[in-house]
Structure 1
Amino acid sequence: MTTGSRGHTRSLRRRIVHHGLVSLPPAVDPAVSARMSNTRGRDTSPEMAVRRALHRMGLRYRVNYRPVPGVRRTADIVFTKQRIAILIDGCFWHGCPDHYRPATGGRSQFWAEKIEGNQRRDHESSEAFSSAGWLVLRFWEHEDPVTVADHISSAVHEAARRTTCPASGSPRT
């Protein structure tokens, strides 16, 4: 329910709730709302650290790219020639088994459903990419960026090796 101005959004929210058109979660503290709206969807610190490490290794890639035409899902880092899609998931937003702690309080059900929906969408994205012939690599934001970059580099080099002829080094036809 995003609109041009915040005032219009609040007014629309009041009308919808007043007329009982939809059940919305209770209003959020303005400080919490501001913090959540400033959460980045791309170019996060973990992504940037991995991208810097990959760049230092001499690897070049696309960023926030849709690997499969017609599928409205993006990968954080993509190697198009090797058909490798990398996703770096945030521990909170994607329900990391090591760090995610369910919310408590009045909005706990909202957050449980939100994280569950994110995980379902993650699975659907991985399936869509895989079924289109892409190798999908997922990492958590808490993983060491250099270790992640090493793993990605190995996958990229292995994929490049598979797509070239052993004798001449030229692409297979």
Structure 2
Amino acid sequence: MDIVDKTTRSAMMSGIKHKNTRTEIIIRSGLHKLGFRYQLHRKDLPGKPDLVFPKHHALIFVNGCFWHAHGCHIFKWPSTRVEFWREKIGANKMRDERNIQTCIAIGWKVLVIWECALKGKTRRNLNEVIHTTANWLVYDSQSAEIKGREL
């Protein structure tokens, strides 16, 4: 049983942003301070990556742990409307995998930064995340992910 009525829950859920999130803005700001320039949410690329670095032929997706079913402490399956959420979140995961593989196939390297890297009990130091991302942009040729620390 939900603790709020259906109208309130609907208003709450529709207020959740899918771009320009706090985590995304923190990453953007840190990289910009280091001199990196990027494009935002390019519609011509699969999944509309949060950050696009044409110079480095790199894409960054900043994923919320709940919406993308990350296997960390932040993600918990909802206890109401279980079938709906399993279908919705499962479709998100499948779409993420498809988009990342398509981006790699067309020659982009992809970094996924998970919300738990900057939030919660497994968060990493912000400078560590920013500098790891900057080093990945400049030096790495492989796709990767940054997530929270192991407990």
What is the correspondence of 1:81-100 to structure 2 with a 5 Å cutoff?
A: 81-98=55-72, 99-100=74-75
Aligned partner of 2:12: which letter?
Answer: R
Q: Aligned residues: percent identity?
A: 29
Per the alignment, residue 37 of structure 1 pairs with 14
TM-score, normalised with respect to structure 2: 0.79
Equivalent residue, structure 1, for 2:133: 152
Task: State the secondary structure of the residue aligned to 1:93.
Answer: coil
Contact 1:82–1:159 under 8 Å retained in 2: no
Matches within 5 A, 1:1-173: 29-66=6-43, 68=45, 71=46, 73-98=47-72, 99-105=74-80, 107-144=81-118, 145-158=126-139
Distance in 2 (CA, whole Å) between partners of 1:44 and 1:79 is 19
The residue type paired with residue 136 of structure 2 is A
Computing the radius of gyration from Cα coordinates, the structure with the larger value is 1
RMSD: 1.8
Q: Distance in 2 between matches of 1:158 and 1:117?
A: 33
Greater displacement, 117-126 / 145-154: 145-154
Consecutive unaligned residues of structure 2, counting only runs of 5 or more, are: 119-125, 142-151
Secondary structure of the residue that 2:110 maps to in structure 1? strand
| Residue 148 of structure 1, CA deviation | 2.6
Q: List runs of 5+ in structure 1 lacking aligned partners.
A: 1-27, 161-173
